[in-house]
Amino acid sequence: MVCSGLGNVKRGFESFTQECFEALSKAPSLDITLFKGGGESHHKAITLWNFHRDAWLAIQLGKLTGRGSYFIEQASFAFSLLPYIHRQQPDVIYFSDGAIGNMLWHWRRLTKQNYKLLFSNGGPLSPPFHRWDCVQQVTPTQFQIAIDAGEPAAKLSLVPYGIKISTKLQILSISERKALRCQLGLPENQPIILSVGAINKSHRRMDYVIREIATLPELRPYVLLLGQQEAESSEIIELGNQLLGADNFQVRTVASHEVANYYKVANAFVLASLGEGFGRVFLEAMSHGLPCLAHDYDVARFVLGKEGYLANFELTGSLATLVSQVLAEGDEQSKRHLRHQSIYERFSWEKLRPAYVEMIECCITGKNKARSLSLDKVSV
């Protein structure tokens, strides 16, 4: 499993790769090594040298080549990976970044090695997928798009993203929630609307969240935006302070293991983007029982199911109306447990692990039914 951003970047690709590695390492038929771009190396989890996309040199090389710093990170990461491929002779290389998949295809063609390339299409990228042996589609929509484009069904797997989730939801008491909010420096009694993702307006549309909440009457909810800051972030922060005020708005970037505490104390979760490859943050929010407010489109309907709150977020007032509805309904424990159970049954690693193992084994054999195979340990 390879992910150049893991250890440096807080995105869905990275959190998925880490959790997938941990979940599939428990499968006795798989022998998995994880290669990542940052952090410390551990047993079976190796950090490779690379030019991190935000580093000055990567940015300059990206400008010089016209390919961008992200491509430079991928290229340098792939270069560091090559000796390990030569020594370990993997059966499958499992990846989510298209650039590194293309580089590994060229290397395989030049060296005549026989590893298979398994692409997890969570971005998503559009077909054709000529260079990769197998493609994981994480939603029915993308699976059908690939079929309609002429991709062979035997090459495709419909396996959604998994998430690490407990079998039962533990809900904080009122006093515990107040104490945790105090510890996090958040208002003790004010409703909190949480949005998690890159702090931008072009995709995550954090500015839409701010403008909608600002239309609500006074004593409005507290808006907390959690995620990686980038070029557009300063504009988002300025807008939030202007329309909501510093006492009712905040942007934070926290470590991935700290995000759960914010889900525990929030009253509702919002993702204002008009399209997502999957929207893994939906799973995170629902795994904590939060009501999820989202734009009404196919992916949101698939992930959230009957438990989602959907509206047309292209229209002014849609989100504000949903927020008012959710807060008026209250925070019943029964509803939180229902949301949690919905996610556990459909997307927990405990439920999905067999499908992932089958997908990897099918990539090697080219057969449709991995469960009929008798395989020794597969190297990934």
Q: Which residues contact 86 (CB under 8 A, 6 or more apart)?
A: none
Average confidence score pLDDT of the chain: 93
Q: What pLDDT band is residue 13 in, cutting at 50, 70 and 90?
A: confident
Distance (Å) of CA 125 to CA 99, 346, 369: 11, 24, 26
Residues 205-256 have pLDDT tens digits of 999 999 999 999 988 999 999 998 988 999 999 999 999 999 999 999 998 8
Residues 285-298 have pLDDT tens digits of 999 999 999 999 99
Distance (Å) of CA 102 to CA 88, 129, 275, 360: 20, 10, 25, 19
Q: Where are the beta strands (DSSP E) in the chain?
A: 2-3, 30-31, 34-36, 45-47, 92-95, 116-121, 134-137, 156-158, 192-196, 222-226, 249-252, 268-271, 292-295, 309-311, 378-379
pLDDT at 370: 34
Tell me what the mean pLDDT of segment 65-71 comes to.
95
What is the DSSP code (8-state) at residue 167?
A: S
pLDDT over 70 (residue 373): no
**What is d(CA 132, CA 118) in angstroms, rounded to the nearest whole number?**
6
pLDDT over 50 (residue 372): no
pLDDT over 90 (residue 369): no
pLDDT over 80 (residue 263): yes
In 95-205, where does DSSP find H-type helix? 98-111, 140-148, 174-184
pLDDT at 210: 98
**What is d(CA 11, CA 256) in angstroms, rounded to the nearest whole number?**
9
Residue 116: strand pairing partners: 92
Residues 20-53 have pLDDT tens digits of 999 999 999 999 999 999 999 988 999 999 999 9
pLDDT at 248: 96
Percent of the chain exceeding pLDDT 70 equals 96
Residues 75-99 have pLDDT tens digits of 999 999 999 999 999 999 999 999 9
The helix/strand/coil state of 361 is helix
In this structure, are residues 261 and 284 in contact, taking their beta carbons and an 8 Å threshold?
no
pLDDT at 378: 56
pLDDT at 377: 61
pLDDT over 60 (residue 272): yes
In this structure, are residues 250 and 206 in contact, taking their beta carbons and an 8 Å threshold?
no
